[in-house]
Every structure is written in structure tokens, then in C-alpha cells.
Structure 1
Amino acid sequence: MRNRSSVVIIENTHVLLIRREKNGEVYFVFPGGGIELGESPEEAAIREAYEELGVHVKLIGIVSKIQYNGMQYFFKAEILSGKIGTGKAEEFANPDRGSYEPMFVPIEQLDSIPVFPKNVVEKFN
């Protein structure tokens, strides 16, 4: 069990998600990852946005906090600089972990695609 932090980035009625493909399964997650020792949830969200997406973000507020295999924090964020798709997270280099593709998805499509966790998606309805 590890606490995690993620960012929720919305631009023009679209939300930025990571399209994952692993073992033939396709699903979507919010960009984020584990909180490191001595790191706050906010610091982890900012670091993970840079590692996974290649962007520097400013956190605006918390969208959700849920208990699932540890505490998971979801922060609304806006992009300050950088280029989406230039992230260099260590998991990207390991083909056994599947593929990671950041993409903007229309908010109205969130109910029709497998996005995890669903209780964060419900915040958009």
C-alpha cells in the first residue's frame, strides 16, 4: 500500500489522461504516482506531472481524496510550462509495464471509457 498523488488538468472541456495499454487491456488514469518519503501530496503531484507529462503545473485545489490501496489525492492543476508528451518517468522505459500515452479526452466521453478511479470521474458529472 502506497499513498499516491495525481493531477486533474482540464482545458477547453477536455481532461488530460494517460491512456494505458497493458496485457491487451486498454484503460485511462489520471497522471500521477507514489508519494515519496518526506514528500507532501502536493509536492508529489507536481513532481509526477513533470515526470509523466513533461509539464510544470500549479495546483489549484483538491478535487478528491479517496482511500484505495492507501490514500490517493487528486489535485486540480493548470499547466505553466513544458510540452505534454515529453515526460521521462522510469516506468516508460520498461516495456513490461505496458504503454503510456498522455491525451486530452472530451469530458462528455468519460462515462463511456474505462477511466480509473471512477469516483473521481463522477466529480465531472
Structure 2
Amino acid sequence: MRDRGSVVIIENEKVALIERQKNDEHYFVFPGGGIKNDETPDQAAIREAFEELGVTVKIDRFIDDFFFSGRQYFFLADILNGQFGRGQGEEMTQSDPEKGTYHPVWAEISELTHLDVRPRQIAERVYSLGRG
């Protein structure tokens, strides 16, 4: 079990996601990853956004947390700079059939309820944020 920090980035009625293909599964997750010993959850989310998306972000606010194989923290964030899709983290640059593929994408918020976005409860929360 490992605690994780993740970002939720919303721009132009779209949300940044990582499209995953692993074994026979096709699904989406919010950019994020494990919290290192010297990091807070928001610091991990910022680092992971850079590694996975290639962007520097600023945390706007905490959205939610829950327990699933460790504590999962989600933060609403804004892009400050960088080029979306240019992440250089290990999972983005190295091929490992056992880990599957990682591909950064923008998804319409209106489609979140139709896609297999994990975790579902955060996807539903973002869907509500995008409509309000």
C-alpha cells in the first residue's frame, strides 16, 4: 500500500486524464502517483503532474481523499507552464508490458460519466464541478 497524490486539471470544459491500456483493460486515471517520504500529498501531486504530463501546476484547492490501497489525495490544479503531453517520468518514457501504457489526454467533462475513469467517485465529483 502506498499513499498517492493526484491532480485534477480542468480547462475549456475538459479534464486532463491518463489513458491506460493494461492487459485487456482500457480505462482512465487522474495524473498522480506515490508520495515519497519527504513529500506532502500536494507536493507529490505537483511532481507527478510534471512527470506524467510535462506541465508545472499550482494547487488551487483540495478536492477529496479516500482509502484504496493507501490514502488517495486529489487536488484541483491550474497549469502554470510546460507542454501538455511531454511528461518524462519513467512510466511515460519506458515500455513495460506488465505495467501497460500511459497516454495523457484531454477528455470532455460531459463524457466523464460514459468513460471508465478511476476512481469513479472522483470522476463524478469532477463532473459535478464542471457543470457548476
Normalising by structure 1, report the TM-score.
Answer: 0.96
1:120 Cα deviation after fit:
0.4
Q: 1:111 aligns with which of 89, 110, 113?
A: 113
1:24 Cα deviation after fit:
2.5
Counterpart secondary structure, 1:95: coil
> Which structure 2 residues correspond to residues 27-46 of structure 1 after superposition, within 5 A?
27-46=27-46
1:91 Cα deviation after fit:
1.9
Among all aligned residue pairs of Structure 1 and Structure 2, give the percentage whose two residues are the same amino acid. 50
CA distance in 2, matches of 1:24, 1:122: 24
* Alpha-carbon displacement from aligned partner over 1:35-93 (angstroms, at most 9, x marks no partner): 00111001101100000000000000011111111110000000000001111111230
Alignment-mate amino acid for residue 43 of structure 1: Q
CA distance in 1, matches of 2:24, 2:89: 22
> Which structure 2 residues correspond to residues 74-89 of structure 1 after superposition, within 5 A?
74-89=74-89
CA distance in 2, matches of 1:15, 1:99: 19
> Which structure 2 residues correspond to residues 1-125 of structure 1 after superposition, within 5 A?
1-92=1-92, 93-96=94-97, 97-123=99-125, 124-125=127-128
Which runs of 5 or more residues in structure 1 are unaligned?
none
1:122 Cα deviation after fit:
1.6
Counterpart secondary structure, 2:39: coil
Name the Cα RMSD after superposition.
0.9
